[in-house]
Structure 1
Amino acid sequence: MHTETQVNVETELSEARVGRLHRTLGVLITLMTMFDGYDTFNPAYVIHYVAGPWGLTPGQAGFLVSSGLVGFLVGAAGHGAVADRLGRRRTMIAGLWLVNLFTLLTPLLGHGFAVFCGMRMLTGIGLGVLLPLGTTYINELAPRRVSNVFSLWGVTLGWSLGGTVAGLVGVFLTPRFGWEILYWVGALSIPLTFVLQAVLPESPRFLAAKGRTEELRALLGRLRPERAASYAAAALVLPPVPRVRNPIAALLEPRYRRVSLTIWATSFLSLFCVFGLTGWIPTVMMQRGESFAASFGFGALMQMTSFLGGLTLAGIVDRRPSRATRFLSTWWLVGGFSVLVLLFADSHVVNLVSVAASGFFIVGAQHVLNNFTASSYETGMRASAVGMELGVGRVGAILGPFVAGLLQSATHGSQAMFWTLGIAALVGAGTIASLGLRGPQAPEVQLVRS
């Protein structure tokens, strides 16, 4: 009697070595999220050129930075249900085309406060798709033993590079070409979009969840070419996918409620601090006596150290996943104190070390929180979970620059701003520490024949 060979898809994906296709797809997602990071942070370098000519108050300047995050909130919160139904690939490419369109329109039409903010909001809807869905895609592709590190290289490196490039363009090109050059450079995402359309496959775990077995066999053969022959005639053992009519409501069911609410609160506090700092660091550093180039360079410094901090934390979490919340809490705790140091000393060295440490610990921990969220839910809910985490977090991101601007206006200085942002990071450390567990894991797999 013939016995059909069975192949456990979850095991095949989780235990794979990082091969050529893994690296290729990681590079493509890195490039995509690089433009996400670039677009997210470039308004901080626009303020210097438009605050005076447009007659902006500190509150308006803060909203100019936050306006794109309003759109991000819509895109992040709303894309998950679409991606869980229609696929990661199609939804990501649609989001990138939206970013392309409004990045081009911003320097053409955005020569006033209201129109500029409107363009940023519409761009933000596309950005709200790219980062959470890139995180989901990489998480579903990565071998389990290196999932956090692979996500850092495949998502966070790009996002951090984008923020760094925005700072470099702000320092070296905007003095000569004006703030518009930030968006002409950003339009280089258009050629990348065509490459993604031609090369990017659907997520393997999404194919498994949808029972698209023939496509999955082909993709498994490309991910693990040494085992391609064994996939051709095998019965695939696929993970069961719960039927979820409303993914957002499902995140608040008793099984997930504590995890979801804790992650959302932590993301809110973290991104309140992150965007409050990144939105105002160049301006505040000039007020503290730093040169124009150095002040703009502080923004790039935060992005560079954030990748190093996230990569370090990801490596630790991959080795000790059961203590992920403890390590995340430690990162935000140290980061919060790094911000508070700026209250008590004002010198170039202190500014440099504190800003670098803030990026390393606070932003670095946020990067790992994104992947922690993705790994805490099954495939059928993963895009919605990451989208909601970043969507709720973007409420904090919207408020961060706005509140920071109001505090500076009300107190005629940056002291109250640093107190508020530093305490937000410390409270975030306590919030994630209260979880004390890694989150729910995917259930056992079931046999699906095709």
Structure 2
Amino acid sequence: MTDVAIDVHEELAEAKIGPMHKSLGVLITLITLFDGYDTFNPAYVIHYVAQPWGLQPGQAGFLVSSGLIGFLFGAVGHGAIADRLGRRGTLLAGLWVINVFTVATAIFADSFWSFCSLRFLTGLGLGVLLPLGTTFINELAPRRVSNTFSLWGVTLGWSLGGMLAGVAGVFLTPIYGWQALYYVGALSIPLTIVAHKILPESPKFLASRGRWHELKALLGKLRPERAETYASAKFIAPGETKAQSGIARLLGGRYRRQSLTLWLTAFMSLFAIFGLTGWIPTVMMHRGETFAASFGFGALMQATSFFGGLTLAFLADRKLANAPLYLASWWFVGGVAVITLVFVNQHSPNLAIVAVAGFCIIGAQHVLNNFTAGTYDTSIRASGVGMMLGLGRVGAILGPFVAGLLQQTVYGSNAVFWAIGCAAATAAVAIGSLLKSIGPAQDRSTVMV
């Protein structure tokens, strides 16, 4: 009998979207929904606690940023764990951290410091969900629809979560107080129980660790038409280098330029996103918008961000080599839109401009997540995505804080719009520098049949 080599990487890349793909995509969508919801709901807390807790604008900005500081540690720290121990267990652990401290925030947060402390601890779990959800979907997605599948499997949930935070902020907090936001967030607990039952390990991680029996079963569900072939296969483990730490490899010769550029891009992008989304309800009320309309701006940005990301993902999937150019265009247009708010303050134009900002700035970040995952090999992918989002979260932390300080020092929102617009433009320049200088990951896993 002649042995035939089957490349697991190609098996996954050339697969059709089947029922197993769809069910896992829905599960990750629901997981990232709670990530997006929990990430953005502090923006709707500021209105209720600023006066009772005697907060200055800079402190109010830190109220939003405190969870992002935890996210930074969670995102940077989880990558090495997920690359060594697996995606599944790390993701489930992150979910339980969020569950516990979301409930604790609703019950025990009664001051500025208690709220910020609990938000920091919640952020440790949040720092796991989005990066690892992106990694998991990237390692599962067929090549021809990689970015689009990631948008449906990760970004849709995150955007819906941000919208849900806005809806809960408008309709529940006036009746039940800001704590209602966190009681709604506790609905992630039954989802976590479901995830324990149905979430498998990532197929590429299984291949990289030589866990062939589990890989056979999972591949048979992903590509049932080839299940019989997999059942009789003899697997050979791929050889992978693990001598260097994740950070050392990310800054090694092969990855150095792309890693540094992606970190700068994410820093500027998330500075702009969280500076804007963290303050948009409050700023719009100061500009004369009603309470409901002001809170609705945040939900509008999340809604348009999904469609912006989906459009960009479609373009990137059609011609991967031009992805940096498309990303740069999105951030540049979004930055110009935000700066336009300096010169315009009427309800309809405000709505249109904020919609464009969400479509472009947040939409581009959605695609950057999967773009980053696709540039690293399996053995370092979780570390690569985690470091990008973790260091990007430094920008996310500074965005709301700097926006608050600017309002405190210059007594107006125009400086905020200039800062956010320029940050988005800088992200455009940074990612544009990678045009035609970056390619997909080269790792392969093989089996013998």
Confirm whether residue 374 of structure 1 aligns to residue 373 of structure 2: yes
Q: Which residue of 1 aligns with 2:228?
A: 229
Secondary structure, aligned partner of 1:425:
helix
Give the equivalent residue in structure 2 for 1:412. Answer: 411
Q: How large is the RMSD of aligned CA atoms in angstroms?
A: 1.2
- Specify the code of the residue in structure 1 equivalent to 2:282: T
Aligned to 1:219: 218
Question: CA deviation digits over 1:399-437, x for unaligned, max 9?
Answer: 000000000011111011111110110111001111223
Counterpart of 2:398? 399
Report if the CA contact (8 A) 1:6-1:234 is conserved: no
Deviation at 1:443, TM superposition (A): 2.9
Residue of structure 2 equivalent to 1:92: 91
Find the residue that maps to 2:83 and give its secondary structure: helix
Q: Distance in 2 between matches of 1:364 and 1:446?
A: 32
Indicate the residue corresponding to 1:293 in structure 2.
Answer: 292
Q: Which residue number in structure 1 is paired with residue 41 of structure 2?
A: 42
In structure 1, the residue matched to 2:164 is 165
Does structure 1 residue 112 correspond to structure 2 residue 111? Answer: yes
Distance 1:254 1:281, change over 3 A: same
Tell me the residue number matched to 2:349. 350
Query: What is the TM-score when the length of structure 1 is the normalising length?
Result: 0.98
Distance 2:288 2:36 in 1: 27
Q: 1:230 to 1:438 in 2, by over 3 A?
A: farther
> What is residue 25 of structure 1 aligned with on the other side?
24
Identity of aligned residues (%): 64
Per the alignment, in what secondary structure is the counterpart of residue 6 of structure 2?
strand
Q: Structure 1: how far apart are the matches of 2:437 and 2:253?
A: 16
Conserved 8 A contact 1:75-1:129? yes
Residue 7 of structure 1: SS of its match in structure 2? strand
In the alignment, is the contact (CA less than 8 A) between 1:240 and 1:444 conserved in 2? no
Amino acid at match of 1:258: R
Letter in 2 for 1:28: L
| 1:220-259 correspondence to structure 2 within 5 Å | 220-236=219-235, 240-259=239-258
Equivalent residue of 1:170, what SS?
Answer: helix
CA contact (8 A) 1:241 1:379 kept: no
Q: For the residues of structure 2 that align with 1:328 and 1:244, how far apart are their CA atoms?
A: 34
Partner of 1:80: 79
1:237 is displaced (CA, Å) by 6.4
Q: What is the distance in 1 between the residues matched to 2:362 and 2:119?
A: 22
Any conservation in 2 of the 1:324–1:438 contact (CA below 8 Å)?
no
Cα distance in 2, alignment partners of residues 190 and 347 from structure 1: 42
C-alpha distance after superposition, 1:169-212 (max 9, x if no partner): 00001000000000000000000000000000000011011111
Change over 3 Å in CA distance of 1:237–1:362 after alignment to 2: farther
Structure 2 residue aligned with 1:67: 66
Distance 1:43 1:240 in 2: 46
* CA distance in structure 1 between the partners assigned to 2:237 and 2:367 by the alignment: 27
Q: Indicate the residue corresponding to 1:383 in structure 2.
A: 382
Q: Name the counterpart of 1:274.
A: 273
Shift, 1:248, TM fit: 1.1
Kept in 1, the 8 Å contact 2:377–2:443? The answer is no
Structure 1: how far apart are the matches of 2:152 and 2:238? 27
What secondary structure is seen at the aligned counterpart in 2 of 1:42?
helix
Distance 1:237 1:339, change over 3 A: farther
Partner SS for 2:45:
helix
Q: Distance in 2 between matches of 1:140 and 1:334?
A: 31
Letter in 2 for 1:127: L
Give 3-state SS (helix, strand or coil) of 2:276's partner.
Answer: helix
Query: Contact conserved, 1:5 with 1:234, CA < 8 A, in 2?
Result: no
Change (3 A) 1:237 1:16: farther
Cα contact 2:7–2:447 (8 A) shared by 1: no
1:207 aligned partner: 206
Q: CA deviation at 1:235?
A: 3.5
- Taking a change above 3 Å as real, the CA distance of residues 244 and 440 of structure 1, as seen in their structure-2 partners, is farther
Distance 1:446 1:154 in 2: 24
Output the CA distance in 2 between the equivalents of 1:194 and 1:371: 27
Partner of 1:328: 327
Q: Give the CA deviation at 1:8.
A: 1.8
Unmatched 5+ stretches in structure 1? none
Code of the aligned partner of 1:110: A
Q: Which residue of 1 aligns with 2:310?
A: 311
CA distance in 2 between counterparts of 1:352 and 1:102 reads 34
The Cα of 1:440 is off from its aligned counterpart by 4.2
TM-score, L = length of structure 2 = 0.98
Task: Read off the aligned partner of 1:414 and give its amino acid letter.
Answer: S
Q: Which amino acid aligns with 1:107?
A: A
How far, CA to CA, are the matches of 1:333 and 1:437 in structure 2?
19
Judging changes above 3 Å, is the alpha-carbon distance between structure 1 residues 22 and 238 closer, same or farther for their aligned structure 2 residues?
A: farther
Q: Distance in 2 between matches of 1:356 and 1:449?
A: 51
Q: Check the 8 A contact 2:285/2:294 in 1, yes or no.
A: yes
Write the distance in 1 (CA, Å) between the matches of 2:78 and 2:437: 25
Deviation at 1:234, TM superposition (A): 2.4
SS at match of 2:217: helix
Partner AA of 1:119 in structure 2: L
| Residues in 1 aligned to 2:441 and 2:341: alpha-carbon distance in whole angstroms | 43
TM-superposition CA deviations, 1:33-61 (whole Å, max 9, x none)? 00000000000000000000000000000
Mapped partners of 1:137, 1:446: distance in 2: 16
Q: Provide the C-alpha distance between the structure 1 equivalents of 2:238 and 2:305, rounded to a whole number of angstroms.
A: 35
